[in-house]
Each structure stands twice: as structure tokens, then as C-alpha cells.
Amino acid sequence: MRQPSDRRRPEPGVPGQPQRDDHDVTLEILQGVIERSHAGATAFTASLFDRPWKAREVQRFVNRIREVTIATVLADGSPHASPTITACLNGTIHFAVHRRSATWRNLQRDPRIAFTVSDHGHAVLGRGVATFAGSSTDTALVKRLARTGSLGLFTPEGWEGDVYAIEPTKLFAS
């Protein structure tokens, strides 16, 4: 997995950084991240996630909730968090970002993120790197993501923006 020091500057006119064609995280890779995260957790964190979920449970939960809060860093170093649409396809968590948003601008400068998907009794918390997966005009990707949920759509009709995939480096879920 790419380390933060390996970041490269985006090419002009290319959304997102880093841009890769091999952004897919499989369920097996996701499971490995969960297991390594839990094994390296402090006693307190481990107690909060004493029954860690398997990767398939994370995928089902993300696809049921359909909203993720993405935390990035503004140019002045202050934190920025925003809720956005999410879906998990074959172990890869995707999220949508409008190109005029602060989140999109922050990802251009630094693709490292923290993310949370939660309801009243469960949570998926993690951090990782956001990689450009496609635009809203990539109908094949958007249609595959739409099939993950019960609504039959990933983004509202007519929405324009980019889709990012998360390469998680740490993930807790229960």
C-alpha cells in the first residue's frame, strides 16, 4: 500500500490524487486491515470494539447506512469533516465528492483521510488514503455502486462530481 510520503502531485486536469487503476480493496484485504488494527489497538480501543466485525459485516453496514463522514485537513492545517454518500463494493468503500467542495480541494493537496460510518448502536471508524476511482459520468462504476443498496442509485440523478475509493490503513468496526 502506498505510504503518505509516496504522494505525488496531481497532473493538471486530473481529479484527485493519487490516481490509480488498481484501487480495489478486496474483502480479504479489508479483513486483514481489521485484524491488524484490532491486534495493534490500545486496551481501551479494543474494549470499545470487543466483538470486531468481519469484512462482510462492514460492507453490509456501510451499504445500509449509505452515509460516511470524511475528515480531511484544510490548507491552514485545521480539520474539516463532511458527510457524504458512500457504498461498499467487494470490500472497497467508495464515497462521492463534489468538485467545488472543501473536501475535494483538500483531497487534491493531501489524500489522507479519517472516516466514520455509524448509527445509534454500531460504528465503523478508520483512516486511510482516498484514491480517485471515477467521475459521476463513469456510468458503469456508478451503476455498480447503485446496486449495493436498496434505493437503486448511488448519487442523485444529475449529480456531478468524483467518486473516491478508500485504501484503509486502520479500521475498527462493531
| DSSP for 64-127, written as a single string | HH-EEEEEEE-TTS-EEEEEEEEEEETTEEEEEE-TTSHHHHHHHH--EEEEEEE-SS-EEEEE
The structural domain count of the chain equals 1
R_g of the chain, CA atoms, integer Å: 15
The range of the structural domain enclosing residue 114 comes to 22-173
What pTM, to 2 d.p., does this model score? 0.86
pLDDT at position 60, please? 97
Residue 9 lies in a domain: no
Residue 13 lies in a domain: no
Residue 11 lies in a domain: no
Residue 33 lies in a domain: yes
Which residues of the chain fall below pLDDT 50? 1-21
pLDDT at position 9, please? 36
CATH of the domain at 84: 2.30.110.10
Residue-wise pLDDT tens digits, 107-116: 999 999 999 9
Residue 12 lies in a domain: no
pLDDT at position 23, please? 60
Residue 74 lies in a domain: yes
Residue 58 lies in a domain: yes
pLDDT at position 113, please? 98
pLDDT at position 41, please? 96
pLDDT at position 154, please? 93
Residue-wise pLDDT tens digits, 77-115: 999 999 999 999 999 999 999 999 999 999 999 999 999
Sign of the dihedral through C-alpha 45, 92, 127, 78: negative
